[in-house]
Structure 1
Amino acid sequence: MSDNAARGRMYGSELMPWAVVLVFGGFLVLFGGVWLGGTLGAAVTGSGWHPPEFSLASFGTLLTEGPGRLWPGASPVGVVAGIVLLFGAVIALCVVAVRKVMSYISRPKGLAGLRELAALAPAGIAARARDLRPSLKGRKELHPDETGNLLGDLSPNGPELRSSFEDVELDLMAPRAGKSTGIAVPRVLRAQGAVLLTSNKSDVYAVTRAEREKAGRVWTFDPQGIAHAPREMWWDILADCHTIEGARRLAGHFVASVNDDQSKKDFWISAAQNTLTALFLAAARGKASVLDLLAWLADPADRTPVDLLRDVNMIAMAEQLQGTVRGAVETRDGIYETARQCVACLLDPEIVAWVTPDPHLAQFKPHDHVLGRDTLYLLSKDGGGSAAGVIAGLADATMRAGVVAAERMGGRLDPPMTAVLDEAANVCRISDLPDLYSHFGSRGINVVTLLQSYRQGSRVWGEAGMDAMWSAATVKLLGAGLDDADFVEKISKLVGNHDVRTPSISKSKEGTSRSYSYRLDPVLPADRIRALPKGTALLLATGVRPALIRLRPWYKEPDAGTISAAAKAETAAITERAARSWSGGPPQAAESSASRWQREAVTLRKPYGG
């Protein structure tokens, strides 16, 4: 006899007792179900509770003579219906149990469960909201959106999870992984206070505009025609430049729009920022216009900005600017040319019109915006000629206005302000955003920065800056399509390892022995993180083990039909405006009157009111 045959006989002898038990158990379950179901069916149909003898003979009688012998006087239909319904209920319960067991088994071991995420679950986040928002105290019932920002549902079948109003968020996902549909749109739609959104596309704008109009006024800052929105507002770009800090911040935004790495500023970039700071300060203090500032840049020999600084007793700044002007011609021209490149977008009359005072249009005032429920859309293109510096300046001014308002309220905005910085690395390069992250959270300003990858952020803010933003973000979502091998490997290590038990079976003539060994495996290997399905994300929250969540796209929510209809109407309007623009059709009435006023009232070197 061969070894295989001997081994087969040994296995068969070992399995035989289990086969007998399995057959007997199956028979017991079958007959028990028939016995109980038939008795219940007979009782329900009016024959009373008269169960037959629970024996093999009863089962044989049922098979040979039918249910009438076991349940005399009972309706055969009722008996059969009782048996069918009982087995159906048992099968349904088994299916539910199997699904729950399979979902538990399929969930990666080592990730956070509901118990560990209790602070983000509905009850925990509601209690946190009452502590953070004085306006909610005393109210028994709270709408879920009043308690926190929706993150998604705990995978696979957990409850919804929300971040608190003091959390700041950093989300990394590849294109088409759900950043807009699962994060940006829901945040804007569900926001309780003022909203700020930056983007280089019109999709979020089209979906959310109609709904946000129900909450408050919608301000659309679209200098490059992303949504082809008519110009119905203007922002005083020099409003915050009356101080050196404000002027330097605005200059930094324009410099950041052309400098790919804020950690690597060469001489020309730094000198250009200093020069722009002086010119912005001179224009603001001297009540000059942006067009005057451009004229000063075009003619470094113009002493007007120096004189304006001296007139307002900014002597040191005036001397510094004069020193630059009187320096070596090659150095001076290099500094001024770099500065001109930084503000080149303002040479476009379509862009500069949005930041030039216009008595025919409403003025956007950040300090008023943060106190209400209005919405500000900041739209700009990527690449050369973009208005990224202007967008970053307005976004920064609005968020800093929120900080001032929070300080006046006792430290925190109520209701909180929502700032969704979509495509932040392309259209909203606020150079010190990593340093402001934790500060914004403590002021009730919920900042959500959306990036395509960690490396994209490093190119803008440098490795140190991106590390600072990563550390300051109290909530991080990592979605599908992260292809940076080094970063994904770091995340795998951050998620951690878990023990994996490996059985080892030994067989001999004496019998079978089983032993177990343990090894450490990653909870989520790098390849599994990279292959996360679309619509899911890895949640990293401060003080909690990582968890997998399912995003909640806006189009799967109960009110998606109404929102979708409004989005289609807005998209059609954008298409119509775009066609009219491309065909050279007539401009909007407000645009036309504003342009006429600008041509009549704005002249180079002539301050407003002069």
Structure 2
Amino acid sequence: MRRGAGGDLLPWLIPGLALVNLAVFVLLWLGGTLAAALGGYGWRPPPFRLDVYLSLLGGGAEAVWPGVPPALVYAGAVALLPLVAAPVVAGTRAVVRRLAAQPSNLAGAADLRGMTGKAAEARARELRPSLRDVPRLRPDDTGNLLGDLLPSGPELRSSYEDVELDLMAPRAGKSTGIAVPRVLRAPGAVLLTSNKSDVYLVTRRERARVGRVWTFDPQGIVYSERDMWWDMLGGCRTLEGARRLAGHFVSSVNDDASKKDFWIAAAQNTLTALFLAAAHGGATVGEMLGWLADPGDRTPIDLLRDAGLEAMADQLQGTVRGAVQTRDGIYETSRQCVACLLDPEILAWVSPDPDRPEFVPEEHVLGRDTLYLLSKDGGGSAAGVIAGLADAVVRAGVVAAERMGGRLDPPMTAVLDEAANVCRIADLPDLYSHLGSRGISVVTLLQSYRQGVRVWGDAGMDALWSAATVKLLGAGLDDADFVDKVARLVGQHDVRTPTYSRSRDGSSRSVSYRQEQALPADRIRALPKGTALLLATGVRPAVIRLRPWFKEPDAAPIAAAAKAEAQAVTDRAAAAWRQRAG
């Protein structure tokens, strides 16, 4: 007769039942004896025999201790219950842990000790000079909270030099278990991109307690009043800066990074030249759009020559003087890339405004301020602007880290939620390879691996996957090829299978082993909401439980602040609709 893995516990069933009966007998025997003595009936311990135990179980306490009230006997046994309960509970927990144990090649607490306790604290002191003389560190100073190791802990934290890639389906806990906790717990400056208001609503008022909150909301996701502007052309005085900004606008309309045809490449070159001309000539974004509308306007060519950028001026002039059909095709593609700037509501956020403060990325990365970058998906999206500003902040963080000797202290947290929709930074996979070493903790949130391939191509997504030192794979991953690849990464483990046989000569028991995948593809796909598979560099895979913000001890005041913020957004939305209607 063959048993499953649980059959391995069958030989312990009879000893376990015997132990439980022994514990109950000891309670009744000792409790009754002590109760009789303390009640004035004398010290009269009965024989420790089976018939005595059966009498006590059957309610015959008076026959065991004549003259002693049965209620006193059983009360004495109940009084001693805590003394016996402790070892019984410990034994039960041990059995439960064995039943719930992860496959042998998944990481246990010992494997992950570098992400817990003293090891995490030592690592934080090494990375952040400002903490070296602090006698006692707060948990959030030691690293980013990932979650609790299943089934029973401990709490796991990545370091602030780790860069993270999280893949989870919608409503699998990305916002509540990852984005919100990272923003709330961040020790330094914060950058958040999103196409929804959920993270903003929960975190805005809490972040306002530690620093200034900047909300870049050109499309009215939270109906925020425009109280800032960003000099979009400020970083375009170099060829690299202008080309990067042009690349963000091109990526926002190019659905497949692996397919960059002639028109897309030519549009990026043209936008690069126009951004350079505007930055060196002191022109506004609006004036730059005017040049783009009129290919015959020589102003950008003259400005490039005045700035000593002869080669760039010649290239732009060659485009303008080329075949009319080719020139018009290039300029039309360029206009499509920056079409969002034709919306005056969006243009106002990137145009100088003497009545509002300017957001300066170089200042932001040095403090504890928070920047929310919000944009809608689809047509009219400000994704190009959002990606440009996010990239400007990240690059400012790199420059500041170099000036500090290598790393930002305190580290900056960048949560790129909906990165494939509203923050398509074309070379993000390349940036990942060194951002962590600069004290910039980046978390990129995607709905699937294939979504990343659509933005960065197969090679780019492979590079992003390889560069991420921490990866969390949550519920609802339906890409069969990808999930099967992850199952192979997790590996196989030995399954112990006991076999029992009976014959006329007696019974025998043998044990055999076979190899099975530790986490088959179907189990990875069916991970419960709120859990994730952790793949961290240098350790075996582990399954963790995420820590949603609303289950933390301090959730009540945060929830109250979120409710108040949601009401404020509702009021602003109502006012905006009344204004439009009136």
| Band of TM-score, shorter chain | over 0.9
Q: Which residue of 2 aligns with 1:313?
A: 308
Of 136, 147, 154, the residue aligned with 2:149 is: 154
Return the offset for 1:581. 1.6
Q: Which residue of 1 aligns with 2:192?
A: 197
Q: Which residue of 2 aligns with 1:425?
A: 420
Structure 1 portions without partners, runs of 5+: 1-6, 8-17, 588-610
Q: Cα distance 1:19–1:229, how it changes in 2: closer, same or farther (>3 A)? A: closer
Q: Cα distance 1:372–1:80, how it changes in 2: closer, same or farther (>3 A)? A: same
Q: Which residue of 2 aligns with 1:340?
A: 335
Given that 2:257 and 2:457 are in contact with CA atoms closer than 8 Å, whether structure 1 keeps it comes out as: yes
Amino acid at match of 1:343: V
Of 74, 79, 93, the residue aligned with 1:80 is: 74
Q: Which residue of 1 aligns with 2:478?
A: 483
Q: Does 1:163 align with 2:136?
A: no
Of 529, 533, 539, the residue aligned with 2:534 is: 539
Structure 2 portions without partners, runs of 5+: 2-11
Given that 2:52 and 2:64 are in contact with CA atoms closer than 8 Å, whether structure 1 keeps it comes out as: no
Q: Secondary structure at the match of 1:216?
A: coil
**Partners in 2 of 1:114 and 1:45 — Cα distance?**
50
**Partners in 2 of 1:222 and 1:288 — Cα distance?**
24
Amino acid at match of 2:470: V
Return the offset for 1:468. 0.4
Q: Cα distance 1:339–1:514, how it changes in 2: closer, same or farther (>3 A)? A: same
Q: Does 1:90 align with 2:77?
A: no
**Partners in 2 of 1:385 and 1:140 — Cα distance?**
52
Given that 1:61 and 1:70 are in contact with CA atoms closer than 8 Å, whether structure 2 keeps it comes out as: no
Amino acid at match of 2:486: I
**Partners in 2 of 1:551 and 1:377 — Cα distance?**
23
Q: Cα distance 1:45–1:341, how it changes in 2: closer, same or farther (>3 A)? A: farther
Of 393, 406, 410, the residue aligned with 2:405 is: 410
Given that 1:122 and 1:162 are in contact with CA atoms closer than 8 Å, whether structure 2 keeps it comes out as: no
Q: Which residue of 2 aligns with 1:183?
A: 178
Q: Which residue of 1 aligns with 2:137?
A: 142
Return the offset for 1:510. 2.5
Q: Cα distance 1:46–1:182, how it changes in 2: closer, same or farther (>3 A)? A: farther
Aligned positions of 1:4-83 closer than 5 A: 28-41=22-35, 51-55=45-49, 66=61, 70=65, 79-83=73-77
Total equivalences in the alignment: 571
Q: Cα distance 1:181–1:44, how it changes in 2: closer, same or farther (>3 A)? A: farther
Q: Secondary structure at the match of 2:253?
A: coil
Q: Flag the structure with larger Rg.
A: 1
Given that 1:133 and 1:415 are in contact with CA atoms closer than 8 Å, whether structure 2 keeps it comes out as: yes
Return the offset for 1:92. 6.2
Given that 1:42 and 1:71 are in contact with CA atoms closer than 8 Å, whether structure 2 keeps it comes out as: no
Given that 2:195 and 2:375 are in contact with CA atoms closer than 8 Å, whether structure 1 keeps it comes out as: yes
Given that 2:418 and 2:446 are in contact with CA atoms closer than 8 Å, whether structure 1 keeps it comes out as: yes
Q: Which residue of 2 aligns with 1:105?
A: 99
Return the offset for 1:37. 2.6
Identity over the aligned pairs, expressed in percent?
70
Deviations 1:417-452 (A, max 9, x none): 000000000000000000000211000000000000
Return the offset for 1:557. 0.9
Return the offset for 1:501. 2.2
Q: Does 1:119 align with 2:98?
A: no
Q: Which residue of 2 aligns with 1:602?
A: none
Q: Which residue of 1 aligns with 2:8?
A: none
Q: Secondary structure at the match of 2:102?
A: coil
The TM-score normalised by the length of structure 1 is: 0.88
**Partners in 1 of 2:16 and 2:99 — Cα distance?**
24
Q: Which residue of 1 aligns with 2:346?
A: 351
Given that 2:46 and 2:64 are in contact with CA atoms closer than 8 Å, whether structure 1 keeps it comes out as: no
Q: Cα distance 1:59–1:500, how it changes in 2: closer, same or farther (>3 A)? A: closer
Of 184, 187, 205, the residue aligned with 1:210 is: 205
Given that 2:146 and 2:156 are in contact with CA atoms closer than 8 Å, whether structure 1 keeps it comes out as: yes
Of 564, 567, 581, the residue aligned with 1:569 is: 564
**Partners in 2 of 1:203 and 1:541 — Cα distance?**
28
Given that 2:472 and 2:535 are in contact with CA atoms closer than 8 Å, whether structure 1 keeps it comes out as: yes
Q: Does 1:513 align with 2:502?
A: no
Return the offset for 1:519. 1.4
Amino acid at match of 1:36: L
Q: Which residue of 2 aligns with 1:226?
A: 221
**Partners in 1 of 2:462 and 2:13 — Cα distance?**
60
**Partners in 2 of 1:228 and 1:509 — Cα distance?**
83
Amino acid at match of 2:135: K
Q: Secondary structure at the match of 1:235?
A: coil
Return the offset for 1:515. 2.9
Q: Which residue of 2 aligns with 1:293?
A: 288
Amino acid at match of 2:269: N
Moved more, 244-253 or 494-503: 494-503
Return the offset for 1:36. 2.3
Deviations 1:133-152 (A, max 9, x none): 11111222111011100001
